Structure 1
Amino acid sequence: MSAQRVGTVSDLPPGKVIGVGRYAVGNAYGNYFAVTRRCRHLGADLAGGAIDDTGCLVCPWHQSTYDVMTGRMVRGPQGVLAKVPGLDFSYRMLTRVLPLGRTRVTERDGELYIGD
C-alpha cells in the first residue's frame, strides 16, 4: 500500500478518530494509530468510535474496546450483550487470532499519512 494522506496534525487532536479508506485513524493521547474500521462483533464502523481514558478505541455500537497497538479486543460487547455467558471471552479470544489490521501512521512536515 502506498502512503495515503490523512490530514494535518491539527486535524487529528488527541481523542479524535476519523475514517480514511479502510482504516479508523486516531490520536490516542499523542499516539497516532490506524486500525481496520470494522468491529469484530457486528461490523460497526470504528471510525465513529471514541478513545477511552486508557487510550483504547471504543466501538460506537456496543462499546467493545480495542487496544490500538495490538488490534486485540480487550473488552467485549457491553449492555445487554455483556450478560451473555462467555461472549466477552469468545470475542477477546477471536481477536487474539484475528486482531484488527493495523498500519503505520507517519508525520511529515505537519501532515499525517498511513501506509508505507
Structure 2
Amino acid sequence: MRRTVRASEVPPGSVIGVGEYAVGNNGEYFAVGRKCRHLRADLAGGSIDPDGCLVCPWHGAKYDVKTGRMVRGPQGIFAKIPKLDSAVKLLTRAFPLDRGYVRQVGDDLTIE
C-alpha cells in the first residue's frame, strides 16, 4: 500500500509512524517495519543514533535501516541473558525488518 507524508514531518534525527512503517530521517529518508523483532515494540517511537541506526524505544536494540538487520541486541537486563543478543541478531538475518521504498517529490514523501 502506498502512503504519503510531508517531509517536514520527518526532520533530521526523527522517526514517525506511517502505516506499517517506521519512517525516519538519518540524513536520508528510510522506511522499515514498525515492530521490533525482540518484543514487538513500536519502532516509530524509537530514535536514531549517531551511526544512523534505528534504536528500539523499549530495550535499545539497534537496527541497520539499509538492511533491516539488528546490529545490537536488546540492552538492560536482556543484555545479561547469555546468547540472547546472538539469537535475536541471527533471527533478523533470516527475517530482517521489512523495508519500504521512500520517494521524495517536493515536500511529499511517498512510502511504498
Question: For this structure pair, what is the TM-score category when the shorter chain's length is used for normalisation?
Answer: over 0.9
Structure 1 residue 6: Cα displacement: 1.7
| 1:52 aligns to 2:52 (yes or no) | no
Equivalent residue for 1:5? 4
- Specify which of 72, 76, 90 is matched with residue 73 of structure 2: 76
With the length of structure 2 as denominator, give the TM-score of the two structures.
0.97
Residue 4 of structure 1: CA displacement? 1.1
Return the alpha-carbon distance in structure 2 between the equivalents of residues 113 and 61 of structure 1: 28
Residue 40 of structure 1 deviates from its aligned partner by 0.2
Runs of 4+ in 1 over 6 A off after TM superposition: none
Whether 2:107 is the aligned partner of 1:110: answer yes
Given the alignment, which residue of 52, 62, 66 partners 2:63?
66
Aligned to 2:20: 22
> Scaled by the length of structure 1, what TM-score is found?
0.94
1:98 maps onto 2:80 in alignment: no
Could you tell me which runs of 5 or more consecutive residues in structure 2 were left unpaired when the two chains were aligned: none
SS of equivalent to 2:25: strand
Q: Which amino acid aligns with 1:10?
A: S
Q: How far apart are the structure 1 equivalents of 2:88 and 2:78?
A: 12
